[in-house]
């Protein structure tokens, strides 16, 4: 598998400093099953409490600064994978969240300035991985994003870190 271009409808969650407890609350930590985790995503984020119960397949979530800061909570990644979202694009990500996402194959794209770019919910976005550009096809505007480091792409293309470990 080679990841070159990703497209999907925008879903805006542009709030800075969203903590993993707002993505998946600590009271649910004995849940292991992705399908059980799925409806609880953003369950503790004011204004987005019902997000997890909706259909978000194929969406590209757009977030603000420091998304996923807080606890080392794998479920806060797993839930988005269960929703089959295409990617999360944001100003910046908490370092542990970034690593957890890469390791299980959730694509995160850092795009400083994205929260200032005119985007509405359901706009068609296209991410060109090789050129590191995000295009809003509906608005006709675009923004540079940070390149995805090769080792990160290697892990994602291998199907996640655990697959790599099978041969080590």
Partner 1 sequence: MKLGEMTGLTIIEKIIKTHSSVSDEEIFPGNIVWINIDLVTARDYAGPQVVDLFQKHYSNSKTFDNGKIIFTPDCYPYGNDPKHAIDQEKIRVFAKEHNIQVTDLGSGIGSHLLFRRGFAKPGDIVFGADSHYNILGALGILGQGAGDVMLAFAMKTGKSWIKIPETVKVILKGSYKWPTTSKDLALFVLKKLHEYEITGQAVEFYGECISELSIEDRVTLCSLITEASGMIGFVPPDEQVAEYYRQFNINLELISADKNAEYCSELIIDIQDLDLQIACPPHPHNVKPIDDVLGTPINSIIIGSCTNGSATDIQDAAKILKNKEVDPDVRLGIVPATREDFISIHNQSAMATILEAGGNIFGVGCSTCAKGQYGLTGGKTAVTLTTGNRNTQGKIGPADVYLASPVVAAATAIQGKIARPKIRDD
Tell me how many helices (H) and strands (E) the chain has: 6, 7
Give buried/exposed letters for 69-98 (b at 16+ CB in 10 A, else e): bbbebbbbbbbbbbbebbbbbbbbbbebbb
Residue 29 interacts with partner 1 (CB under 8 A): yes or no = yes
Q: What minimum distance in Å lies between the beta carbon of 43 and partner 1?
A: 9
> In Å, how far from its chain's centre is CA 48?
16
Q: Which stretch binds partner 1 (CB under 8 A): 6-14, 53-61, 115-123, 155-163?
A: 155-163
Q: How far is the CB of 39 from partner 1 (least distance, A)?
A: 17
The smaller minimum CB distance to partner 1, of residues 78 and 136, is found at 78
Q: Which residues, numbered 78-137, are part of the site for partner 1 (CB under 8 A)? A: 92-96, 98-100, 103-104
Q: Which is nearer to partner 1, 106 or 123 (CB)?
A: 106
Q: How many whole angstroms separate alpha carbon 68 and alpha carbon 132?
A: 22
Q: CA-to-CA distance for 92 and 54, rounded, in angstroms?
A: 25
Q: Which is nearer to partner 1, 53 or 163 (CB)?
A: 163
35 belongs to the binding site for partner 1 (CB under 8 A): no
Strand 141-144, strand 133-136: pairing: antiparallel
Reported as half-sphere exposure (CB side, CA atoms, 13 A), residue 59 has a value of 20
50-89 mask for partner 1 (x: CB under 8 A)?
Answer: ---------------xx--xxxxxx--x------------
On the 0-12 / 13-18 / 19+ scale of CB atoms within 10 A, 108 is: buried
Residues at the interface with partner 1 (CB under 8 A): 17, 19, 21-22, 25-27, 29-30, 32, 44, 46, 65-66, 69-74, 77, 92-96, 98-100, 103-104, 149-152, 155, 160-166, 168
């Amino acid at each position: 598998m080679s990841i070159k271009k990703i497209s999907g409808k925008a879903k805006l969650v542009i709030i800075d400093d969203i903590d993993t407890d707002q993505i998946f609350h600590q009271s649910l930590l004995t849940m292991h099953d992705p399908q059980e985790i799925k409806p609880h995503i953003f369950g503790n984020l004011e204004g987005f409490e019902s997000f997890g119960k909706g259909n978000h397949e194929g969406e590209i979530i757009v977030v603000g600064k420091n998304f996923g800061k807080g606890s080392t909570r794998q479920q806060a990644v797993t839930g988005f994978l269960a929703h089959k979202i295409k990617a999360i694009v944001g100003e910046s990500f908490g370092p542990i969240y970034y690593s957890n996402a890469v390791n299980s194959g959730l694509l995160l794209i850092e795009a400083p300035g994205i929260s200032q770019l005119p985007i509405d919910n359901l706009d068609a976005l296209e991410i060109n991985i090789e050129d590191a550009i995000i295009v809003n096809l509906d608005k006709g505007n675009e923004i540079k994003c940070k390149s995805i480091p090769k080792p990160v792409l290697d892990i994602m293309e291998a199907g996640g870190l655990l697959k790599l470990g099978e041969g080590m």
